[in-house]
Amino acid sequence: MKGYGLFLILFLILAPAAAFSDTEEIFRDLTVVGSEVFTYRCDDGKIIARYYRLSDGSLPFVRLLFPDGREYTLPQILSASGARYTDEAELVWWIKGEEAFVEVRDDDGQWVTLYESCRLEP
C-alpha cells in the first residue's frame, strides 16, 4: 500500500507537468492570420474591417475602425444567420453577405442601431 501511495504522489506531481509540456508544444506553432482589409459604406460614413483567426482556423475575431476613429476588436460568436462579432457588453458587428450593421447598448442596456445599411465596397 505504501508503494501505491508513493506512485500516486509522483503521478500527481508529474502528470500535470507532462500535460503542460504537450499543450505548450501545440500552441507554440499558432500564429494570427489576417484577411485583406474590407471597407463598408454606411449611412453615416465608412467602417474598415479586417478579419483574423489563429493559424489552425480557430478563434475568429474582427478589428474595426469607425468613422470617428474608434477601434474595436471583437470575437466571433455563434449566429443563426451571417457572422456576429460582439463583446456582449458594448458593441455588436453583424455581417450577412455583403451587408452589415452595428449595434451598441443604450443607457437602459438595450441594443440600438448605431450604423445601419452598411454595404461592402467593391
Is there a contact between 72 and 84 (Cβ–Cβ < 8 Å)? no
pLDDT at site 10: 45
- Model confidence pLDDT, tens digit, residues 42-57: 988 999 999 999 888 8
In this prediction, residue 84 has a pLDDT band, given cuts at 50, 70 and 90, of very high
- The whole-angstrom separation of Cα 19 and Cα 11 is 12
How many structural domains are present in the chain? 2
The reply to whether 59 and 26 lie within a common domain is: no
Matching residue, cell 457572422: 83
The reply to whether 85 and 56 lie within a common domain is: yes
The reply to whether 39 and 26 lie within a common domain is: no
Beta strand spans in 55-97 (E): 61-65, 71-77, 83-86, 91-96
Matching residue, cell 456576429: 84
pLDDT at site 118: 96
The reply to whether 25 and 43 lie within a common domain is: no
Domain containing residue 88: 32-120
pTM for this prediction: 0.72
Please compute the mean of the pLDDT values over residues 9-36 and round it to a whole number: 63
- For residue 6, is pLDDT > 50? no
CATH number for the domain that contains residue 107:
2.40.128.200
- The whole-angstrom separation of Cα 105 and Cα 73 is 16
